[in-house]
Structure 1
């Protein structure tokens, strides 16, 4: 029994926030001291490192579970299945539903339960649960879904990655410019056809790395003490990713039985353009090769970093022919890969 993606979907928010929109922000270092550069210089350097020119934010009346529903519905429609036949709904996120202007995260009931309710699925044997695994959460949901299918306890699974990071960013932190909102989804089904999920690799590095991404107070020393925001040690994450992710990707590909020359596309978490390119270059260097042109589709320039949503959104857009000069053909071998809070890393080798 194999596991193949039969439907994809995504939700890209309508609110566009460009780099220039941060020009009037007051940025501070983590110790509360002022930035050494003016905002124009800070934004220019930010763009050079991350590649981000703009990002998407949710409308005020929407939450993470709302956009997860939209992405999931599109995937179900593309797969052409009856939602009542779903065995699992797995929703990867990190902060639950945070309403606009709220400081509380709402995770009861789970986002997967909310998605199921909004999809109007009556079947009680359709089990919904959430995955908290940092940015690699959607890929980890895929790992779990394919395990259910190969164990014979599921035939149809809906895996969604959704996040609204704009609701948990500190406007006085330069890193707030990285984060964005969005949702992506796939339907993974049991099949007798060749291909599908060929191999996977997952790891959690927590001995020294667990606090590389964390919840912390505002960089502004006069901000309210009892509110926490997403924070990260960017340099440590960069070094960790370059050290650990290429090897995990290689192990995943080697276990698939496919050659590096078979690999057509790498759908990597859209975290930071410079970091992603360095990971890809190191990955190919492990095989004594240079990375081919066009092997790594990117959305980070326009969509920013929407955490768990980046990989499924990217795959959906390429699958639907919505990214210039990027296309997929039946039989292509691709890889999904991610790194994020935990510190967690994972990868999947997949054949269309």
Structure 2
């Protein structure tokens, strides 16, 4: 993390200009001992002297002070996971104060503010009034949109702002932000991959192709899960959608490659079967859900496999790396609640297979 290093910088820029401490003291109008104290971080220059020093060294005030309100990606990840863990272990209101202190300190580091939005969205249910947390997340989104000049960051923030509104059940506001028309997928990545292929860099072209396939798979299965949720009362659509999604999961080993997607498929289809009285089929999928959660989600990490053998570097370079955005404790609580407290499964509560799944999820 970047801190104020004005003393060290005065020394560095003074020497680069070939100026002695005596000469600098005479130019500024202070004693040599004052300059010595600055350079040894015993005292700081008077604020009125800073522009004069910056002018002498032909640098900006920020350069002179050695302070930029920015964080590296590694810094951001470290702070994010530190706070995410504290949300599990401490009073969330105390952690919120710490979050806001970080936000004040790095209010101009927009990549950091973005991850604070993500943090708030992932932990808002810990608060009695989650709407206040969602509103705060949107305030940060508005700041980023107003002051950032990074188009990709702004695009990400618009999505997060819309997602926060969905969480607060405000669909009209979402449509005002995103509009109602759906644009075609960008093929920018494929064109980049083709360019590397033409340059003879087949390794990079293969990596990009794998990244594209990986993302399309996740989105396709996610859309099929949504299709199931939209047609719960029509078992023909439910079963056809599940058959196609399950085929993709098996073919591409999504239970391990991206267990969150396959777990959502099993859970969503189990709900559809349960509300339609197909209890045996529902229990079959609850057992699948339980196995995937215990085997993979309880220790969730994004990773490639033997087929997707070129994507690990890309995954590690994501904003939050390969780890889950919430603590394992909170993930486990949600996994258990998704079946134990699910109103769709009321008719299954006394079933031995259902109880065994709950017990397995709780004891692992």
Task: Quickly name the TM-score band, shorter chain normalised.
Answer: under 0.3
Q: TM-score, normalised by structure 1?
A: 0.20
Q: TM-score, normalised by structure 2?
A: 0.19
Greater share of helix: 2
Bigger Rg, structure 1 or 2: 2
